[in-house]
Structure 1
């Protein structure tokens, strides 16, 4: 897949975590999970992430300075309520680190919860996330998506994002334009071995495993510092 660059794409920061090791999360081995979701569709991660350059490379969405000294790989499923909880906590700290040029973030958007919970909401949301990135509104769309629980009609989510709805975006959502990319991202998640969402790897090493550090901004900032970020 050719590299696509979108300047001033604000990326909502969500991540994935290995449920087999962490205390809570959405696992590929269970049918459902529940947690508090983000309440603000224009939350702090969207604000902090505004202005970051985004590059789509293969199955990953790369956010931040490509020359940053550290790389954080994050895994998410749009229907995972714990990913929404991370959006309000540790993801803010990660966004700040990216905005400061300390880390570049590689997002892998899974859709395994469709198979576990039924329907196609995760895949449809992942397709729309890619379309929102092309439109320069990824952060805002991601925040609105998680505020609605991740299973809402993507076009209704887009209605809450100023300037996102367009003929091109609507067509990409309705025609499932990026279905091949969605499948590749799911395979990348499956091949990673992390097992669930939310998970974060810094320079290839999983961090924030166990406890609630992923869901607390200050605690996750300490996790990042301990990892050298």
Structure 2
């Protein structure tokens, strides 16, 4: 015997599908997930100069061995950030809300804890891995924050597609005091590839499925628009008592 679904059931099913579709579209509109391409913006021919908001910010490796802490370890508030170097939305965050984070870090009220993911490489050794390795090498030289700003500012340009080691070294030349024999060798030899893999595992273990993922004092920032605008993110930090 064939049973005809009640009209309400059919309507409810359509509503559920519509809600799920809207939710997925919302994720796609504000971050890079497992199905994203390496860059979500069309490439340009020029490499812009970093604004310099991260200049001089200190950074160190946390005791867990993967988290990079930018700012004073004893700062009263924490912004926890997960990014993939090849994610266009992460670049939008770092050149938008990241400016507000840097200002709050500089004031001593906030520390930024970074997890560098490289899942957009999809298991290969490609642009995300190479950039993450270079970021770790920059940390060793005391230039993590400045170099990260340079990497994300350049993201989306033609030369940045795939982040070759040669281009990463070119970007490093924008950061005074970063280039040197040890740094260049670490970039070319992928000396920190093991760290990159452990950092990716830490991101996967966090339960997050897309980047940028931003938490303020343990609470996830759900307002995607605020992530990409410095004044809006500064207002969000102020509302949370962190600015």
Is 2:35 the counterpart of 1:29? yes
Residue of structure 1 equivalent to 2:219: 205
Residue of structure 2 equivalent to 1:194: 208
Structure 1 or 2, whichever has the larger Rg, is 2
Match of 1:96 among 92, 103, 114: 103
Deviations 1:70-108 (A, max 9, x none): 111101000011111112211111111111111111100
**3-state DSSP class of the match of 1:46?**
coil
Residue of structure 2 equivalent to 1:5: none
**8 Å CA contact 1:36, 1:81 repeated in 2:** no
Match of 1:132 among 117, 120, 138: 138
**3-state DSSP class of the match of 2:30?**
coil
Work out the CA distance in 1 between the residues paired with 2:31 and 2:207.
15
Match of 2:187 among 154, 158, 173: 173
Work out the CA distance in 1 between the residues paired with 2:149 and 2:240.
26
CA RMSD in angstroms comes to 2.5
**3-state DSSP class of the match of 1:147?**
helix
Residue of structure 1 equivalent to 2:122: 115
Aligned residues: 207
Residue segments in structure 2 that go unaligned for 5+ positions in a row: 1-23
Which structure has the higher relative contact order (CA within 8 Å, separation 6+)?
A: 1
Match of 2:54 among 46, 56, 65: 46
4+ aligned runs moved over 6 Å, structure 1: 36-39
Report the alpha carbon displacement of residue 20 of structure 1 after superposing the two structures with TM. Answer: 6.5
Is 2:70 the counterpart of 1:63? yes
Residue of structure 2 equivalent to 1:14: none
Residue of structure 2 equivalent to 1:152: 163
Residue of structure 1 equivalent to 2:237: 224
Work out the CA distance in 1 between the residues paired with 2:37 and 2:95.
24
Work out the CA distance in 2 between the residues paired with 1:36 and 1:141.
23
Residues 35 and 226 of structure 1, relative CA distance in 2, 3 Å threshold: farther
Work out the CA distance in 1 between the residues paired with 2:105 and 2:231.
16
Residue of structure 1 equivalent to 2:20: none
Higher strand share: 1
Residue segments in structure 1 that go unaligned for 5+ positions in a row: 1-17
Work out the CA distance in 1 between the residues paired with 2:116 and 2:182.
22
